[in-house]
Amino acid sequence: MTSVHHSEQLAAVTATVGAGRILPVVVLQDAAAAAPLAAALVAGGLRSAEVTFRTDAAADAIRAMSEHPELFVGAGTVVTRTQVDKAVEAGARFIVSPGFSPTVVAHCQQLGVPIFPGVATATEIQMALDAGLETVKFFPAEQLGGTAMIKALSAPFRSVRFIPTGGVNTGNLADYLAHPSVLAVGGTWMVAPALLAAGDWAEVTRLTAAAVTASQEACSC
Ligand code: 3PG
């Protein structure tokens, strides 16, 4: 994969995630729930999802959710090269990691799969910039100071786009999305473990639709 091709792919994935403005962070215990979950998210108005490598079902869930023609599926909580390989093999279109790992980033770049590494500090943002990456997950967002922290970090790093995740929900997502440095927000609130365990797809769709409505009402000034 040439670096030109890779950067074009990164730009395309960034645009897709940015267009939806909300990235559900999915933790699935059982890949059998993947297909109905994909349908429930799309019915609620979302087109992207991050499936985390926190369970053994992750790769199979990515494979099953990727079969939905309208859903763009990435892998999250990717902390090793092996997980990158498994995610790509399962069809993940992008990789997200909770922190900044030079090893994971280099491996993704070698394979040509877009990565949004996690950052929590100015130093980690500089590491991302050194690696040629300007779109980062900001994790854990609320605990780090929320929008005030993003505002402070975006002053020196004007080109950086953030995907704040951690403590984001329908009540505060508009505050995040109103900041020009925020590409999209991530979170689990519309795919809470209890909803997935109960197979309550109607509630997943309802919460997703409410989040989409809240994101559309957010000021993008
Ligand atoms: C993540 O992995 O991105 C976070 O655990 C999501 O945080 P939330 O559960 O507060 O949305």
Residue 191, pLDDT > 70, answer yes
φ and ψ of 73, to 5 deg: -110, 130
Tell the burial category of 5 from Cβ atoms under 10 Å away from its Cβ (0-12, 13-18, 19+).
exposed
pLDDT in tens, 21-79: 999 999 999 999 999 999 999 999 999 999 999 999 999 999 999 999 999 999 999 99
Confidence of residue 8 (pLDDT cuts 50, 70, 90): confident
Tell me, yes or no, if 70 is annotated catalytic.
Answer: no
Other residues' Cβ atoms within 10 Å of the Cβ of residue 220? 11
- What pLDDT is stored for residue 4 in this prediction? 62
Give the mutation target among 25, 51, 168, 189 for probing the ligand 1 site: most ligand atoms within 8 A of CB: 25
Q: Identify each DSSP E strand in the chain by its residue range.
A: 22-26, 48-52, 72-76, 95-96, 115-116, 118-119, 135-138, 161-164, 185-187
220 belongs to a structural domain: no
219 belongs to a structural domain: no
Whether the CB-CB separation of 209 and 44 falls below 8 Å is answered with yes
Number of domains in the chain: 1
Report whether residue 186 contacts ligand 1, using a CB cutoff of 6 Å: yes
CATH number at residue 156: 3.20.20.70
Query: Considering the entire predicted model, what is its pTM?
Result: 0.95
Which listed residue (50, 67, 86, 142) is catalytic?
Answer: 50
Residue 6, pLDDT > 80, answer no
* Residue 28: domain span: 3-214
Report whether residue 97 contacts ligand 1, using a CB cutoff of 6 Å: no
User: Which residue from 24, 18, 13 is spatially nearest to 211, judged by alpha carbons?
Assistant: 24
Q: Residue of the nearest CA to atom 5 in ligand 1?
A: 166
Report whether residue 118 contacts ligand 1, using a CB cutoff of 6 Å: no
Tell me, yes or no, if 50 is annotated catalytic.
Answer: yes
Report whether residue 25 contacts ligand 1, using a CB cutoff of 6 Å: yes
Whether the CB-CB separation of 196 and 213 falls below 8 Å is answered with no
221 belongs to a structural domain: no
